[in-house]
C-alpha cells in the first residue's frame, strides 16, 4: 500500500501495527488519532479524534481494526505514527502498572 506521502507500507507491517494499536486503551487510541492529525467535528463520548464506534470496532475486531489502521496510514507519515505509538504504548503500560 502507498500512502499519500508516497511511503510504501507492506501488508505485514500493517498487521503488526494493527496488533499493537489494538492493545492500546480507549484514551490512547483517541490520542493516537489526534496526535497524527485527525479530529472529529464534535466531541463524542469524551473522544476528540475518533468516534466511540471506531474505538469499539478496533477493540473487538482485527479486520475492522486493520481497516481503521489502513485509513490512518493513508493520511499519516509512517515514522510519525510509529513515534507516537511508542510513546502511547509506554504511557499506557505505565498507567496499567
Task: Assess if residue 57 is contained within a domain.
Answer: yes
Position 92 in a domain = yes
Cell of 69: 489502521
Per the structure, the complete domain to which residue 39 belongs is given by 25-96
Share of the chain above pLDDT 90, in %: 77
As a whole number, mean pLDDT of residues 28-56 equals 85
3-state secondary structure of 44: strand
The whole-number average pLDDT for the span 53-82 is: 95
Please report whether residue 37 resides in a domain: yes
Mean pLDDT over residues 35-46, rounded? 76
Query: What's the domain count of the chain?
Result: 1
- Give the model's pLDDT for residue 75: 92
In a domain, 11, yes or no: no
User: Has residue 61 been placed in a domain?
Assistant: yes
Q: What is the pLDDT of residue 57?
A: 95
- Asked whether residue 97 carries a pLDDT value surpassing 60, the answer given is no
Q: How many CB atoms lie within 10 A of CB 6?
A: 6
Asked whether residue 46 is domain-assigned, the answer is yes
Would 19 be classed as within a structural domain? no
Measure the CA angle with vertex 22, ends 83 and 39; round to 5°.
65
| Residue at 7 is within a domain | no
Amino acid at each position: 500500500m502507498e500512502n499519500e506521502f508516497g511511503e510504501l507500507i507492506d501488508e505485514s507491517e500493517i498487521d503488526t501495527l494493527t496488533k499493537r494499536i489494538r492493545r492500546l486503551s480507549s484514551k490512547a487510541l483517541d490520542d493516537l488519532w489526534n496526535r497524527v492529525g485527525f479530529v472529529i467535528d464534535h466531541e463524542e463520548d469524551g473522544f476528540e479524534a475518533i468516534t466511540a464506534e471506531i474505538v469499539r470496532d478496533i477493540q473487538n475486531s482485527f479486520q475492522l481494526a486493520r481497516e481503521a489502521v489502513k485509513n490512518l496510514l493513508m493520511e499519516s507519515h509512517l515514522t510519525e505514527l510509529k513515534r507516537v505509538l511508542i510513546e502511547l504504548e509506554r504511557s499506557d503500560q505505565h498507567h496499567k502498572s
